[in-house]
Structure 1
């Protein structure tokens, strides 16, 4: 199986696939799926002694503002292994820019069929405030020790904004004929 064959989802933007690249609480190593081969590569060892606060991945067959697939943070009670695909629904989006431009992060949970204990989470405001602050703090500082890199966190927006990001990513992918 190639991760290149995974589609964006069953009912985009309400039910979408996320390919996990980095498990939550993993060591500070950034993994990325190679677009050509579908293999998971080590992108870099992060200079900061920080762990990703959520599972981190992307929606296949999307292109975000930075030219990469739409980034997604997936809240789960356990870490997901790199390369696994999980069906998700959006709670909101953390709007950000970095040295390369727009770099928003969609916040999601697995669909209710997969993880019913999170059915009460419908929007960003339903997530524990500490969790949201940890996510924001991570992204404000995870590039601090990398020369020439920076991040500006602009704040949280709700599920409608997240769905707009997803649909724009699908449209960008389709328009590029990728």
Structure 2
């Protein structure tokens, strides 16, 4: 019977495929060809429709989140130290991740091995909403990249454009447009530090006790 049970993508999957080599497990929610934005239903672990992609901008990457991470106190304090904005708080979601690949992946709801190369420090209505940027392990085009400084400028520009515009749809209740800004683009080492903060926040939030694991 247990073989029929599906692990929850947020809680039932390890963060790292190889902690030593910094190879992440990334759960993918949406792909570039999606015309609607999907997101994880935290209660059930299934994907649900968040909203239609009403604009022509398309994310040039696989997009999802990092299992067993949480944007809470540690993630917020990390950004506060770098920005000097004391009012910031975490967005209370798992850390988001964009995975660059030359391959045409046709659907989400899958796990990929990804190597972090950097990230965007994004603030969304006063909440820290970092976007970790990674490459698909062994990808023929992006797989050799190890730091965001080696990423093509055009790819980064398209990613920035997507995140700064995809929420430019007025809230149906307030008629306000979300205020998003990308304050910094950071490299591999800082991305690892953000991920570590997200992992610590997850452990604190869910009183997580690490069990012996084969992941090294």
Match of 1:20 in 2: 28
Q: Confirm or deny that 1:35 pairs with 2:42.
A: yes
TM-score normalised by the chain length of structure 2: 0.75
Match of 2:164 among 140, 145, 154: 140
Deviations 1:144-167 (A, max 9, x none): 223331211113100111111111
Match of 2:91 in 1: 66
Q: Which runs of structure 2 are paired with 1:105-120 in the superposition (5 Å)? A: 105-112=131-138, 115=139, 117-120=141-144
Q: Is the 8 A contact 1:26 1:52 kept in 2?
A: no
CA distance in 2, matches of 1:12, 1:165: 15
Match of 1:90 among 116, 130, 141: 116
CA distance in 2, matches of 1:91, 1:58: 15
Q: Is the 8 A contact 1:12 1:167 kept in 2?
A: no
Between structure 1 and structure 2, the one with the greater Rg is 2
How far 1:100 sits from its partner (Å)?
A: 5.1
Q: Is the 8 A contact 2:115 2:136 kept in 1?
A: yes
> What SS does the corresponding residue of 2:123 show, helix, strand or coil?
strand
How far 1:116 sits from its partner (Å)?
A: 5.2
CA distance in 2, matches of 1:11, 1:173: 19
Q: Is the 8 A contact 1:22 1:52 kept in 2?
A: no
TM-score normalised by the chain length of structure 1: 0.90
How far 1:176 sits from its partner (Å)?
A: 1.1
> What SS does the corresponding residue of 1:165 show, helix, strand or coil?
helix
Match of 2:52 among 27, 45, 63: 45
Q: Is the 8 A contact 1:22 1:30 kept in 2?
A: yes
Question: What is the aligned length?
Answer: 175
How far 1:54 sits from its partner (Å)?
A: 1.1
Deviations 1:61-100 (A, max 9, x none): 1002211001000001124321110011101001110125
* Structure 1 vs Structure 2 CA RMSD: 1.8
> What SS does the corresponding residue of 1:61 show, helix, strand or coil?
coil
